């Protein structure tokens, strides 16, 4: 974990309410696990000391090791709105990389990656990392669920490198008009994967968790929670583990990626 002032390399609008911000960390980012996140302090807010959590979307730059990260974010409130006005060259304070990420071994077999909306951000990094490590593209199947065609930008960087992508949208303007969990369940029944990795809204993750248990498939999910410190110190992100009596986890420190073998929500 590092606290650092980072230089903004770019901050561009890539779709309706979607932005990509590139941050030069100045230190090697090759050890970062997909699913880990950074807490960004956004200047100009009344609660400027409270940082906002964002997943790492990809690493890039640097002569031998990547020395920059990119975050893909959606403007949903005052912090992300303010962030969208930050200019190239400005300095931001970030804390991270934080938390525990996905753990997928090279011999994991067929992996279904299931994303809902902005939940695509850490999964983009996961897929890029797996491909970078020589994982067979045919062993990764991406299921993406969005609201409409306006969410297409979330899959943009994977289109050229990943042949197996299934898409569902609420209004049917992109892919099938369906829930992504329904698309995934149909294929899980036909061709059960060896592992599922997922990130998205809680209702989607609950459904995926149920399917994983029903079909006995190992499953890792990345959870979202309102976070203040990002370090396990404030209890703001505490969540009950329903597998154990009276056991609470900190999503920021024990997660955000949890293995359903050890954790239920």
Joined together, the tokens standing for residue 136 give 């067979």
Q: Choose from ligand FAD, ligand FES, none: what does 236 bind? Cβ within 5-8 Å by kind.
A: ligand FES
Judged by CB under 6 A, the residue of 220, 250, 258, 260 near ligand FES is 250
Q: Choose from ligand FAD, ligand FES, none: what does 234 bind? Cβ within 5-8 Å by kind.
A: ligand FES
User: What is the smallest separation between the CB atom of 124 and ligand FES, expressed in angstroms?
Assistant: 24
Handedness of CA 64, 157, 224, 10 (dihedral sign): positive
Is the Cβ–Cβ distance between 102 and 186 less than 8 Å? no
1 binds ligand FES (CB under 6 A): no
d(CA 222, CA 256) in angstroms, rounded, equals 5
**Opening angle at CA 180, ends 175 and 184, nearest 5:** 105
Judged by CB under 6 A, the residue of 114, 128, 168, 228 near ligand FES is 228
- Using DSSP, state whether 211 is helix, strand or coil: helix
Judged by CB under 6 A, the residue of 233, 242, 244, 248 near ligand FES is 233
Interface residues with ligand FAD (CB under 6 A) are 37, 52-55, 71-74, 76-80, 118, 121, 224-227, 256
Q: Choose from ligand FAD, ligand FES, none: what does 257 bind? Cβ within 5-8 Å by kind.
A: none
Instruction: Give CA torsion, residues 159, 165, 169, 173, to 10 deg.
Output: 60
d(CA 169, CA 123) in angstroms, rounded, equals 18
229 binds ligand FES (CB under 6 A): yes
């Amino acid at each position: 974990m590092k606290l650092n002032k980072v230089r903004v390399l770019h901050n561009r609008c890539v779709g309706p309410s979607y932005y990509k911000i590139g941050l030069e960390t100045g230190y090697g980012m090759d050890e970062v696990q997909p699913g880990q996140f950074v807490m960004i302090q956004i200047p100009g807010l009344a609660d400027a000391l409270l940082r906002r959590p964002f997943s790492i979307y990809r690493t890039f730059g640097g002569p031998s090791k990547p020395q920059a990260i990119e975050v893909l974010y959606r403007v949903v409130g005052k912090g992300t709105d303010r962030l969208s006005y930050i200019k190239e060259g400005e300095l931001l304070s970030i804390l991270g990389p934080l938390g525990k990420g996905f753990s997928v071994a090279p011999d994991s077999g067929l992996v279904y990656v299931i994303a809902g909306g902005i939940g695509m951000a850490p999964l983009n990094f996961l897929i890029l990392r797996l491909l970078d490590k020589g994982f067979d593209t045919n062993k990764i199947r991406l299921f993406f669920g969005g609201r409409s065609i306006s969410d297409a930008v979330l899959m943009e960087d994977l289109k050229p490198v990943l042949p197996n992508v299934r898409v569902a949208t609420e209004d049917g303007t992109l892919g099938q008009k369906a829930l992504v969990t329904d698309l995934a369940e149909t294929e899980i029944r036909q061709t059960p994967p060896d592992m599922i990795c997922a990130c998205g809204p809680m209702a989607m993750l609950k459904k995926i968790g149920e399917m994983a248990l029903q079909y006995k498939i190992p499953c890792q999910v990345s959870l979202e929670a309102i976070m203040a410190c990002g370090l396990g110190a404030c209890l703001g992100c505490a969540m009950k583990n329903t597998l154990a009596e009276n056991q609470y986890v900190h999503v920021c420190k024990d997660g955000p990626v949890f293995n359903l073998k050890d954790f239920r929500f």
